[in-house]
């Protein structure tokens, strides 16, 4: 037992950390708070990128790239925005090093001080709006629908692999529109794109909603979000889409001439998801044996393990295994044939289980003799034998079934973790014993939300878009409320 995982029950946080490292997704680096994403983990990110990128383009967006560095003055142009990010910015102050006096290394050359310091982007609204100013003159230039894939830096005090790192990878969409309505429609559209992707590709059920003013993006008029529920009962924000109003247009003086020839400020949105999604993926599906990956994102969908005694056995098994491998590959399935002689089958079984490969096919002499193979499902841990005839179609269907099954399992769990609370005692008790989302009334004031956070560490995760009007009393203050919101402790 070389790679024993801490169980989820023993220590959920340690289970998560162990899993990220042992499944070879990522590791800590020599730089505080920054991770190395290893090939297996990066491969998942590439699949996320590929599908999202396709969806962005399908909805009319194009990719571009803006600089990593932002002049300090840009950041301060939008008051709420700078307030939100100032405390976590990395700043470049010099542009040259020199040999240290003792010749043992290098030191900053104090003579090479930048006239204007540069901020390493925590997000790109400012540099992008400074650029858009020159791109937009007329209503004919709108809408402007641009996305960029990039890294950003937010100097976090406490970091965790994928969930919160000082540097992370993400995409940020930045759009400009002629009307308020169109911008809001864009923000909502992209929220739906995210929800569709996260549910259908990542098999993570989400709740669509809007943020309370406290949790809103710095500089936004409205922040839409998708919220997911992790196995330990904590919520995780999986994606956000912001309606920015005219805040950035005014800050960066981005105006256009409308059809009547009158000048107007443009309306903006921005939206993003990050490598944090990989953290959500892990904490939604995985178990004490390791990762469980949805087939649509798994770097390896099917692994074939040959079993044999001696050379003759191997040759018989190898012919069959190789045939199956070629057939699956032709059918567009990502399949790996692990014919390494350096590890025993049992070792491989454990390894691929740890790495979350959805389907394992084992082929031994008995199977060759009976024209069958042994199939093992990662999601249910079931094993059974099936005929080699029609195997490719069988696998295709099974992959879809697994995708569906893990989503359903996650959805049932998520639904079971939504609890209504009508009194403060109930609210606190649910939070302490069960966790999850608590559906409760709130009087709508930032002060009350702040107070609840102080008392319980729970925040309003979102005001669900599908919330039904319902008269009630605020869980804390007893003041009137017209609908329920979702509280939870969150990542």
Partner RNA sequence: CGGGAUGUAGCGCAGUUGGUAGCGCACCUGGUUUGGGACCAGGGGGUCCCAGGUUCGAGUCCUGGUAUCCCGACCA
Q: Which residues bind RNA (CB under 7 A)?
A: 1-4, 13, 17, 28, 31-32, 84-85, 87-88, 122-123, 152, 154, 156-160, 164, 211, 215-218, 237, 240, 289, 307-310, 314, 341, 344-351, 353-354, 362-367, 374, 376, 381, 383
- Between 80 and 92, CB nearer to RNA: 80
Residue whose CB is less far from RNA, 136 or 206: 206
Compare residues 104 and 262 and give the one whose CB is closer to RNA.
104
Beta bridge mates, 256: 264
SS3 at position 271: strand
Contact of 54 with 322, CB cutoff 8 Å: no
Q: Which two tokens stand for residue 451?
A: 């107070």
DSSP 138: B
Q: CA dist 199 to 191, 196, 306, 369, Å?
A: 12, 5, 35, 42
Question: Which residue in 31, 113, 124, 116 sits closest to 85, CA to CA?
Answer: 124
- Shortest Cβ distance from residue 315 to RNA (Å)? 12
Between 101 and 310, name the residue whose CB sits nearer to RNA. Answer: 310
45 vs 256, which CB is nearer to RNA?
Answer: 45
In the complex, least distance from residue 139 CB atom to RNA, rounded to whole angstroms: 30
Q: Order of strands, edge to edge, in the sheet holding 302-306?
A: 335-337, 302-306, 359-363, 372-377, 383-387
Nearer Cβ to RNA, position 50 or 381? 381
Q: Taking the complex as a whole, how short is the minimal distance between the CB of residue 274 and RNA, in angstroms?
A: 8
The full DSSP string for 115-128 is: EEEEEEPSS-HHHH
Tell me the closest approach of the beta carbon of residue 332 to RNA, in angstroms: 25
- Which residue's CB is nearer to RNA, number 143 or number 173? 173
Whichever of 281 and 354 has its CB closer to RNA, that residue is 354
Distances (CA, A) of 249 to 78, 140, 217, 257, 325: 10, 17, 16, 14, 56
Q: State how far Cα 435 lies from the chain centre.
A: 21
Q: What is the DSSP letter of 342?
A: S
Select 107 or 381, whichever has its Cβ closest to RNA: 381
- Look at the block and give the residue holding tokens 């919330």: 467
In the complex with RNA, the residue whose CB is nearer, 143 or 269, is 269
In the complex, the smallest distance separating the C-beta of residue 347 from RNA, rounded to whole angstroms, is 4
For residue 139, what is the DSSP state? G
Residue with tokens 């996650």: 410
In the complex, the smallest distance separating the C-beta of residue 166 from RNA, rounded to whole angstroms, is 10
| Residues 6+ away with beta carbon under 8 Å from 342 | none
Minimum CB separation of residue 365 from RNA in Å reads 5
Q: Convert 262-274 into a string of H (helix), E (strand) and C (coil).
A: CEEECEEEEEEEE
CB of 263 to RNA, least distance (A): 30
Rounded to the nearest whole angstrom, what is the least distance from the CB of residue 472 to RNA in the complex? 25
Q: Angle at CA 46, nearest 5°, toward 43 and 50?
A: 145
Closer Cβ to RNA, 188 or 351, answer by number = 351
- In this structure, which long-range contacts are made by residues 33-42, counting pairs with CB atoms below 8 Å and at least 24 apart in sequence? 33/155, 33/156, 33/159, 33/165, 33/166, 33/167, 34/165, 34/166, 34/167, 35/161, 35/162, 35/165, 37/169, 37/275, 40/299, 40/355, 41/278
Listed in sequence order, the residues at least 6 apart from 449 whose beta carbon sits closer than 8 Å to its beta carbon are 212, 214, 442, 459, 460
Question: What's the min distance (Å) between Cβ of 478 and RNA?
Answer: 26
Q: How far apart are the first and last CA of the chain?
A: 31
Least distance between RNA and beta carbon 308 (Å): 5
């Amino acid at each position: 037992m070389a790679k024993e995982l801490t169980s989820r029950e023993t220590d959920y946080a340690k289970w998560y950390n162990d899993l990220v490292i042992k499944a070879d997704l990522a590791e800590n680096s020599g730089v505080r708070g920054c991770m190395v994403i290893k090939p297996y983990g990066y491969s998942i990110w590439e699949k996320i990128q590929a599908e999202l990128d396709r969806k962005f383009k399908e909805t009319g967006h194009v990719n571009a790239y803006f600089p990593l560095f932002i002049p300090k003055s840009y950041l301060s142009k939008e008051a709420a925005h700078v307030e939100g990010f100032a405390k976590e910015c990395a700043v470049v102050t010099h542009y040259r090093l020199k040999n240290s006096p003792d010749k043992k290394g290098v030191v900053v050359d104090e003579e090479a001080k930048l006239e204007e310091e540069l901020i390493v982007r925590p997000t790109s609204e400012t540099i992008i709006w400074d650029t858009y100013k020159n791109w937009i003159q007329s209503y004919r230039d709108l809408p402007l629908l641009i996305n960029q894939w990039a890294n950003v830096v937010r100097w976090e005090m406490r970091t965790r692999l994928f969930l919160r790192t000082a540097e992370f990878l993400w995409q940020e969409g930045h759009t400009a529109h002629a009307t308020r309505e169109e911008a809001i429609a864009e923000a909502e559209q992209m929220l739906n794109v995210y929800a569709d992707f996260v549910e259908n590709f990542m098999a993570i059920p989400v709740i669509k909603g809007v943020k309370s003013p406290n949790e809103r993006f710095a500089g936004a008029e409205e922040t839409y979000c998708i919220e997911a529920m992790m196995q330990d009962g904590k919520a995780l924000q999986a994606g956000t889409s912001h309606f920015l109003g005219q805040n950035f247009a005014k800050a960066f003086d981005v105006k256009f001439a409308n059809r009547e020839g009158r000048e107007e400020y443009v309306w903006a949105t921005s939206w993003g998801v990050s490598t944090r999604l990989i953290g959500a993926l892990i904490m939604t599906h995985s178990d004490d044996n390791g990762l469980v990956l949805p087939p649509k994102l798994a770097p390896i969908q099917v692994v074939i393990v040959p079993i044999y005694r001696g050379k003759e056995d191997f040759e018989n098994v190898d012919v069959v295994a190789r045939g199956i491998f070629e057939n699956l590959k032709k059918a567009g399935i990502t399949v790996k044939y692990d014919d390494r002689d350096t590890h025993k089958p049992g070792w491989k079984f454990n390894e691929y289980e740890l790495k979350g490969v959805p389907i394992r096919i084992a082929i031994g002499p008995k199977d060759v003799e009976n024209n069958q193979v042994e199939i093992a499902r990662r999601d249910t841990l079931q094993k059974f034998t099936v005929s080699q005839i029609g195997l490719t179609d069988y696998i295709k269907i099974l992959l879809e079934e697994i995708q569906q099954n893990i989503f359903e399992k996650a959805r049932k769990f998520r639904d079971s973790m939504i609890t209504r609370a009508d009194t403060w005692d109930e609210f606190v008790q649910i939070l302490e014993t069960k966790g999850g989302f608590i559906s409760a009334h709130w009087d709508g004031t930032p002060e009350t939300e702040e107070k609840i956070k102080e008392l319980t560490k729970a925040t309003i995760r979102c005001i669900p878009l599908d919330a039904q009007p319902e008269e009630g009393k605020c869980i804390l203050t007893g003041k009137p409320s017209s609908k329920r919101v979702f509280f939870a402790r969150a990542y």
